[in-house]
Structure formats: structure tokens, C-alpha cells
Chains A and B, each alone.
Chain A
Amino acid sequence: MYDLSNVTRHYQKGGRAVTALHELNLAIGDGEWLAIQGRTGHGKTTLLHILGGLDRPTAGTVTFAGRDLGRLREAQATRLRAESIGFIFQTFNLVPTLSAAENIESALIPLGTGPAERRRRVTAALESVGLGDRARHLPSELSGGQQQRVAIARALVKQPKVLLADEPTGNLDEDTRDEITALLEQLWRDHGLTLVLVTHDSAVARRAQRVAIMHKGRLSIRQDTRRAAK
């Protein structure tokens, strides 16, 4: 699915150059679950943004399904995100004025899906995360776990190839964390998704097929259970 070759990302912070990613090489297969761990500020989120076409590497190439993400025009990258990549954020990032169903529906707007089909898919997505009875609730009327379920449904409603999750359990208590992790695992298996999950939490990371460690912009693989999982 992904092939990263010598990916480097520099940016300016407070007037000085920072290297977020340093000559990073990584291949992520179709349907793989990769967990990325590491300390804050060591490049995990930058890597996730580059994988999602939200950011571009300063050097090196990132190919996604055979397409060089660094060479895509902004409109093409936007289209790619709309069709193929789902995002989940630590702080859920739901639009506070829209209901759970409308937040999920917002992911279908760029695809130009018709209203009836949108309603059908939103209902199915809500059911798949166990929130069929919360469609009209605003985010403020939902618990943290429920909000993250809505965010997961929003990411999955467009049936993406890849799910990029940035600390999806970082704001949740332990029980809810386990629920969300179990849900992600179930969806990953059911939908055949490629899942890249950034987490601080080793308990969450251990459930992935591979665990990579980011340290000062460099990546190293700590655990690989792909063969066992299959």
C-alpha cells in the first residue's frame, strides 16, 4: 500500500530548522496494521500527515497505491483523501454544531454522494460503531468514547483503503480505551483496512501486527507478528 523511501521532513520552528523525519524507509502492506510508538515531538504525527497527503516530505518519495504523494497537486491530494484515506484524531475533531449523523455525513460531501445514499451509509456506519440510537445527538451530548466512535464511523463511512489514527485512545479512560481498540481491531479485520495507528500506549500497540518506534525522526521496527496473525 505504502512505500516510503529516504523520506525526510524539515520545518522551521522558532527560527531554527527541525528535522521531524530523517531518511525514513518503510513499506506498509495492504491490510496491515502498523502501530507507531514514540515520545512526543519525535515525528509520529508528521509521518501520519505525510501518509495522509496532508503534508509533503522535504526529500524522498512516498508512494501510495503506486502514486507518488509528493508529486500530487493539492486538488489530487484532496481527492485522494476524500476517497481512500480515513483519519481519526486524539481529540475526535467533530464539528460541534453538527449531530453525530451529520458529522459522519460530512465525510461523504466531497464524494458527491446523493442524499438517500448518504443517509443509508450514515445509518449503517452508526450501527457498526454501536451508536444507532445517538444519530441526532450533538458531540457535547456524547461521552468521550462515544465521540471517538462517531469519529471512527466518520472515517469509515466512505469505505477507505487506509485508516490513519493519531492517538485515538489518548483522551479516553482505560475501559473506554479497550473498547475503542477492540472496535478498531474488529473493523480492521471486517473491512480489510490498512491501519496505521500512532499511540503512546503499549497495550494498544501490542495488538498491532507490527510496532515501529520513532526516535528523533528515525524509525525502527520492534515487533512483527504479521505471519502469526495470518
Chain B
Amino acid sequence: MFFFTYLRRELRRRLRQAVVTALGLALGIGLVVTVTAVSSGVSAAQGKVLGALFGVGTDITVTTATAPSSGGMAQITPEPYVQHTDTLSSPTQGSIGASAVTAIARLHDVGTAAGGLVLTEIKTTIPADNAPPPASFQPPVQVGVTGVDLTRGRLGPLAAARLVSGRNFAAGQAGADVTVADSAYAAAHRLRIGSAAAIAGTRFTVIGIVRQAPGSNAPQLYIPLARAQALSGLGGKVNTVYVQAASASGVGLVAGEISRLLPSATVTSSASLASSVAGSLKTTAQLARSLGTWLAVLALLAAAAVASLLTVAAVARRVREFGTLKALGWRSGRITAQVMGETLAMGIAGAAAGIALGLGGAAAASAAAPNLTATVQTSNVGQGGFGGGLSADGGIFQGTVGGPVQTFANPNATHTVAVPFTAPVTAAAIVLAASLAIAAALAAGSLGGWRITRLRPAQALSKVA
């Protein structure tokens, strides 16, 4: 076909210019693909962190601050005999009436809502008054226990958990003394399906073992909500409401509606939680979003500009050729199409090379990037209801022996998660990159075409005649 013969010959004649144009586009496209992949990787890493902290399907959590008299401070007075205490309480979060869950669920933009009770079991042995401290003093034992609303199993603290063995709660077990254990806790305490676990002096049977995502700050044990309420003395109350918006775009609206409904409550969305994430993950995300994006945009613009300039220069050099074609009866549109075909071919070559460069760049980023870390303030997580009030680094409990024992939360404790980083290149990114290269090439071709359209054949021929 004449069109392709002409196109091929012209590209071969101006091979150096074609290669420079294609390479320029390839560089821009490669950067776009790499930056997109890095951004995707960072987003995925953030998603992992937030998903682990937040729970699958949960858009918003609602909590209230601890009331001064709600058990945040507990005093134990030494007696002349050894005391053993085993309490289940909510030391870092205030409670909300279960009716609030129903009220939230009825809000216009809310899909569904579930209540939960994030509790801490503290087992303490207090020596007898005036007795010398035992040689092998054991500090108080803390266990995170969360009460789960069995009627809303797909929402709440267990939603993100993966069942390792056994089974999950059944709807009819709301009043049963059954528990689902975290796999790490089960391994440490040799719990298996059918084992017994004592919670606040009550014997619970382990029916399932689950694994939560790393960094989720998950509780050690899950029990039915009604049992948690009974054992903690918080009958008819919850301290966390998990909310799913009717649509992803409605999360902000829902947050506003809940704030109006419960003015004293803390309403936390994944976006507000994300803003509290610190560490290299946040730094990388910011870098990818700001510098990376601008770098890619600038490279692409520069490539498009170079392609346009080279095309316009080529048109200027080919004035006689185009003037002759016009004299032969070629329409301006036909000549423009020929030039655009040439730039399009360069664009396709640039896109192919750019995608290859981008894939290499993404692979290099994945290979070179160390694991990222995300640091979240435990107090935020606790207040937000994400995984309980106790942290592994002892951020909540401190105690003294030989005098009054106090329990309190450390508001500045943090929780750091290591997040493996990969930069995935998606099909959408490749389509975007190819589209950008072709658009840049067509823009360059259009500029050349515009020059051709304005070219008067008599002038074109006169210039060289």
C-alpha cells in the first residue's frame, strides 16, 4: 500500500530523527510507567497497612473518649493476703449505647453498621501487704479481647481475619462461652480447637484460630459481643462502631452525618487514619506523588515538545516535497495524514520502548527498594478502635508493686509495621502510557499538519524554484 511504503521510506530516510523522537517519548513513557508502578506499590502498601488496622469493608469507625470514671484508672489496695485479679475492661475507650449502632445504621448514606467491644483483660497478682516481693515476680498479664457482633460477621474486627483452623462464630452462639483465637497467641499458649481459655475467670472453648495481617494490632481473643458485655459489666453497650458507607464516594458524607448524630464521638475514616501514618512509607508515598509525578509529566511534556519541534522542522525541510504533492493534486488532509502516520509510528515505537523501560524501572525499584515502615500512633488506633487498646510495646500498661497499682494508657505510644514494597505494572498503566505516547505523537503530527495546511503550494514551490 502506497501510504505505508511512503511512510516506511520517510522514516528510514530520517532514521536519526525518528530514533531521537521515539527515544524521547520512550524516556517520558518509561518514567510514567515507573512512577505509576511505584505509586501503585506505595498505595498497595498503604492499603495493606490501613486495611490491617481498619478491617476489610470498614469505611469508618466511631468511638468515644474514655470517661474519667469508666475504668481508665483503677486502684488496688494491698491486703494482708495475696490477691489475684482478672478483670475485663475498656481502659482506653468510652462506651456507647448499642442503640447508637441502630441509629447510625439508619443514616441515609450508611450501608451497614456493627458494634464491637474492644477490651483488655488484665490478670494481676498482688502480694500480701508488707510481704517481701517474690523472687520471680511476674508482671501483670494483658490480653486483648474483642466482643464481636455475630449478626454482622462481615463487618468489624474479624472481617479481615483469615481462618487458619476450626470455624468462625455461628449466629446462634451469641450467648455461648466460645472464642476465636489469634494464631500467634494460640501458638504461644498452645491453644488448639477445643482447648479452654480463661477470660475474666470464665472458661471459653476455642472454636477457631485466625490470622490477622501483620501490623494489624489485632486482639488475642474474640468472643461473642453479648458475653463481652456481660463479663466487662458493659451490658447493652459497645465501644466501637464499624460503619460501611453505602458507596465509596459517600464516606465523607457518612462521617458528617455521624458527627451530627453523635457530637462527642470520634469519627475516624481510612483517610484520616492515613494522615496519621508516618515513616518511610509516608515519605515514599509523598515522593512518588510529588516529585515522581512531576518528573514524569515534565519528561513527557519535554518529549512531546521535542517530537513537535522535530516534526515542524521536518515539515519545513520538506516544503518542496509537500508543495509538489499539492501541485500533483494531493489534498492537505492527505499529506497531513501521511505526516501524522510517520509521527504515529514514532509514537508507537516510543510507547513500546517506553513500556519496556518502565517495566525495567519498576523491576529495579522493586529490587532495590528496602521494606518500608509505617508508624501509627497506638493511641489513635486504640481510640479509633483498630485492634484494641493494648500495644505490644507496653504503651498502655505500667504498674508498681508494693503499693497502689495503676493502669493507664500512654497516649504517645506508637506501632510500627514493616511493609514489603513491590512496584507492580498494571495493564491500565501500560494502556495509559501507550495512550500518552500516541497522543504526544499525534499532537506533534497535528502541529506539522497545521503547518502543511497553511502551506500555499505556489509559495512552497517558489521558495526552491
Contacts and interface: CB of A to CB of B under 8 A. Distances in A.
Interface string A91-124: 1010111100010011101110001000000000
A54 B461 contact: yes
B321 interface: yes
A55 B455 CA distance: 12
Given A78-B329, A81-B327, A89 B457 contact: no
B324 interface: yes
Given A91-B465, A97-B10, A106 B328 contact: yes
Max count, chain A CB within 10 A of own CB: residue among B323, B325, B456, B465? B465
B449 to A, nearest CB: 15
Given A54-B458, A78-B329, A110-B334, A91 B9 contact: no
A79 interface: yes
Contacts of A105: 2
**Size category of the binding interface on chain A:** 20 to 34
- What is the predominant secondary structure among interface residues of chain B facing chain A? helix
Contacts of B237: none
Interface string B1-21: 110011001101100000000
A98 B5 CA distance: 8
Contacts of A54: 326-327, 456-458, 461
A110 B326 CA distance: 10
A154 interface: yes
A166 B462 CA distance: 11
Nearest to A74: B332
B330 interface: yes
Contact of A81 (B9, B10, B320, B329): B329
B324 A110 contact: no
B106 interface: no
Contacts of A107: 328-329
A90 interface: yes
Contacts of B465: 45, 89-91, 166
Contacts of A115: 1
A28 interface: no
Contact of A45 (B321, B323, B462): B462
Nearest to A49: B458
Contacts of B329: 78-83, 107, 110-111, 158
Interface in A37-64: 45-46, 49, 52, 54-55
Nearest to B325: A106
A184 to B, nearest CB: 18
A97 B9 contact: yes
A91 B321 CA distance: 11
Contacts of A97: 6, 9-10, 12-13
B458 A55 contact: yes
B336 to A, nearest CB: 13
Contacts of B331: 75, 78, 110
Interface of A: 45-46, 49, 52, 54-55, 75, 78-83, 87, 89-91, 93, 95-98, 102, 105-107, 109-111, 115, 154, 158, 166
19 contacts: A75-B331, A82-B328, A87-B324, A89-B324, A91-B465, A96-B13, A97-B6, A97-B9, A98-B9, A102-B6, A106-B6, A106-B328, A106-B330, A107-B329, A109-B334, A110-B334, A111-B329, A115-B1, A158-B329
